[in-house]
Structure 1
Amino acid sequence: MSTPEHHEEEPVTKNGFTDPGLAHHRPRRADVEPKADRRAERQVAALFGLSALGTIIAIWAYFGLDAGDGSDVDAVHRMNLWIGIGVFLAMVGIGFGAIHWAKTLMRDHEMVEERHALRTSDENREAAIQNLKDGVTDSGLGTPDEAGTGVKRRSLLKGSLITALAIAPLSVLVPQIGNMGSDWNISKFRHTMWGPGVRLTRDPDGSPIKAADVTIGSVFHVIPEGLNDLEHHEKMAEKAKAVVLLLRLNPEDLKIQEGREDWSFDGVIAYSKICTHVGCPVALYEQQTHHLLCPCHQSTFDVSDGAKVVFGPAKRPLPQLPISVDDDGYIVAQNDFDEPVGPSYWTRLKGDSTTEATSVEEESH
């Protein structure tokens, strides 16, 4: 008895190119095993539940953990750690849940629609719409098909997804709303520890600097005298505003700015270390060009010409600290900076590098 010969389908060739066709579809376990389908559904729901739990953890950490007035650094770190864990779980749970849902439960059949004229036939349109409906139905979000086969709705998944999406933003919004009542006294940005007679000291040991110690081309990282005596939290807050770079140039290379004739001493000059772009520490000095470079975004300042911006995104020169030398030969500040250090903020008058809005001036007086 002869057996029929098996003939493989010849590949279709168009315009000299062979169409390889679609690979044979391999069903997933969830497609053929009801237990695997239910297990995947529970796993997705569990991930969405994990997201909801993360939101609860973040809100609990914000309201339930006491950070006091911020002076207890360990308490602040502990609260921020748990808020971070909660936000992480809230976001990751939604993301991994959606990915697992798509890979195990949603429709995975490959479909090809050849390109034709812009206006397709009614049959093709109906087929495309039916493909979309099939995808929605297979995802578990749609209704049973018209034939009444009763593709089940995944109410568990829909409920867990909606819950996770609804409360996940709270993990971020609640701390922000809670902080709206915080101290917004922005005049704190206006003043630093520098004042008349405050000695310039080395960072970090706090030893005072004599003018004779500063040679041409040298650079000192400077903090105000007394900074190291503060409590840790207050010290960090004050240091973030008060750090200074002290340099010495040949006096002939300095272009003294109008009104600042006595702000330097024999080529010794001091500028804020805080970049006026986004507040990164400016610390790279090129002796030959007298340029200070911010490593974050390459803003470059010319210290021989009032620390004016010569390159990069910064828009304002670095604030200069007026200095002099006391009777013992130590370098001291004449006063605080004449303008706020660091990036611009909302009360600074636009386009003015030395003036603030009236509200802050009144507050400082």
Structure 2
Amino acid sequence: MSHTDLEKAHEDAAALEPAGPVPDPGIEEHPPRFTDTDEQAANRAYRQIVGLLAAVPVLVLVFLVVYFAVPKDAQLVLFGTNLKMQTTLLGLSAGLAALLIGVSAVQWARVLMNDAEMVEDRHSAGSPPQAREQAAAIWNTGVEDSGVRRRKLLGTGIAGALGLMVIPAVVSLADLGPWPTADVRAQTIEKTIWAEGIHLVNDVNNRRLKASELEIGQLVNAEPENLQDLEGAAYQQAKAKAAIIVVRMDPNAIRIPDSRRDWQVDGILCYSKICTHVGCPISLWEQQTHHLLCPCHQSTFDLGNSGVVVFGPAARSLPQLPITTDAEGYLVARSDFTVPVGPSFFERDSSKDFQEGDR
């Protein structure tokens, strides 16, 4: 194509373009819905929506019955797959209730609410009084268009359905774990598997620790011998609370309060391995100062002074396990820890924790 032909093509294209802006097409004609022209159809849709909302309380009741009546270990075989019956039925009932609320809301908007298109001109950020009055009028118009005033069960149904859906949520929260009553805490987070006569064993080879074989300055990561009797989650939970460190120090170079004279064996002491700040495992041992350092947040405990905190964010001394020896000289526990191990919690009683100067 020559240069002259190209210029002519551009001129022809420019002539076809509109000279001014595209005119406002306005709002398209609104086609009426079948519920707008047929009152019986609108009433049928109304009854359907109310029916969907009425099924929600029934499903909530089913949820509660399943939660309290179906055993947690009951099995349900579905398409050749073994499922937990309780959790499956809870999910189906609560999920279906939420689905019905959503479907009814969508259907309500599709067939009963006023769907006429409207244009709202932009205005400044500050709303004058007449604008607020206009907003109130628009709100009232919206309420009128929703049909709530004429079909009062719609508003009651949706409010009741949404309100009842709080019940499954609240009930489900109770299933996150046992209520932390004093008795429950005493048997769970405040108790370990340590007991009188339980041997201390190396956590690598599970060999019993003999007092005569430990050297001054040595630290050993250990655990209770009866830990090997557990499996799975019970094993992991018990180990997380019962893990210990065993250290031997010169009895003449450390402070042993009168109340803990029989908690040690010739300078051999045993402490929880779990930091009292946020529960990190600790074993960074400084032989000369008798300090134990937590690698997470640098909390430092003086094992030569009953595990008191000498630095860092930890607020409680490291719990000490009372130990002694059996007839063959192997280290055994005298009892469980006298205070809960691990980080603090709201209900924990800290009055029994060792403090600097305690005897």
Sort the TM-score into its range (normalised by shorter chain): 0.5 to 0.7
Q: Distance between the aligned counterparts of 2:235 and 2:67, measured in 1?
A: 23
Q: Distance between the aligned counterparts of 2:64 and 2:335, measured in 1?
A: 45
Q: Distance between the aligned counterparts of 1:215 and 1:102, measured in 2?
A: 80
Partner of 1:63: 68
Structure 1 residue 131 displacement after superposition: 2.1
Structure 1 residue 129 displacement after superposition: 1.4
Where structure 1 has 5 or more consecutive residues not aligned to the other structure, the ranges are: 11-21, 145-152, 356-365
Q: Is the 8 A contact 1:244 1:270 kept in 2?
A: no
Q: Distance between the aligned counterparts of 2:55 and 2:253, measured in 1?
A: 62
**Structure 1 counterpart SS, 2:159:** helix
**Structure 2 counterpart SS, 1:260:** helix
Structure 1 residue 198 displacement after superposition: 1.8
Is structure 2 residue 167 aligned with structure 1 residue 165? no
Partner of 2:4: none
Q: Is the 8 A contact 2:101 2:161 kept in 1?
A: no
Is structure 2 residue 113 aligned with structure 1 residue 115? no
Is structure 2 residue 52 aligned with structure 1 residue 81? no
Q: Distance between the aligned counterparts of 2:339 and 2:186, measured in 1?
A: 11
Alignment of 1:303-342 (within 5 A): 304=303, 306=307, 308=309, 310-312=311-313, 315-342=315-342
TM-score normalised according to structure 2 size: 0.58
Q: Distance between the aligned counterparts of 2:207 and 2:74, measured in 1?
A: 26
Is structure 2 residue 165 aligned with structure 1 residue 188? no
Where structure 2 has 5 or more consecutive residues not aligned to the other structure, the ranges are: 1-17, 36-40, 77-82, 355-359
Alignment of 1:233-272 (within 5 A): 239=238, 242-248=241-247, 256=255, 258=257, 259-261=259-261, 263-265=263-265, 268-272=268-272
Structure 1 residue 199 displacement after superposition: 0.8
**Structure 1 counterpart SS, 2:140:** helix
Letter of the 2:331 counterpart: I
Partner of 2:280: 282
TM-score normalised according to structure 1 size: 0.57
Q: Is the 8 A contact 2:275 2:281 kept in 1?
A: no
Q: Which moved more, 1:207-216 or 1:326-335?
A: 207-216
Whose Rg is larger?
2
Q: Distance between the aligned counterparts of 2:196 and 2:281, measured in 1?
A: 25
**Structure 2 counterpart SS, 1:290:** strand
Residues 321-349 of structure 1 deviation map (CA, whole Å, 9 limit, x = unaligned): 1223434342211232222334345473x
Alignment of 1:1-365 (within 5 A): 7-8=20-21, 33-34=33-34, 55-67=60-72, 78=84, 81-82=87-88, 85=91, 89=95, 93=99, 111=120, 114-115=123-124, 120-122=128-130, 124-138=131-145, 140=146, 142-143=148-149, 153=151, 155=153, 158=155, 160-173=157-170, 176=174, 184=183, 187-188=186-187, 191-201=191-201, 208-211=208-211, 212=213, 219-222=220-223, 224-229=224-229, 239=238, 242-248=241-247, 256=255, 258=257, 259-261=259-261, 263-265=263-265, 268-273=268-273, 276=276, 281-287=279-285, 290-293=292-295, 300-302=299-301, 304=303, 306=307, 308=309, 310-312=311-313, 315-342=315-342, 343-344=344-345, 346=347, 348=349, 352-354=351-353
Q: Is the 8 A contact 2:322 2:335 kept in 1?
A: yes
Residues 294-331 of structure 1 deviation map (CA, whole Å, 9 limit, x = unaligned): 6xxx584525351538434x542332112234343422
Distance 1:130 1:57, change over 3 A: same
Aligned residues: 308
Structure 1 residue 246 displacement after superposition: 1.6
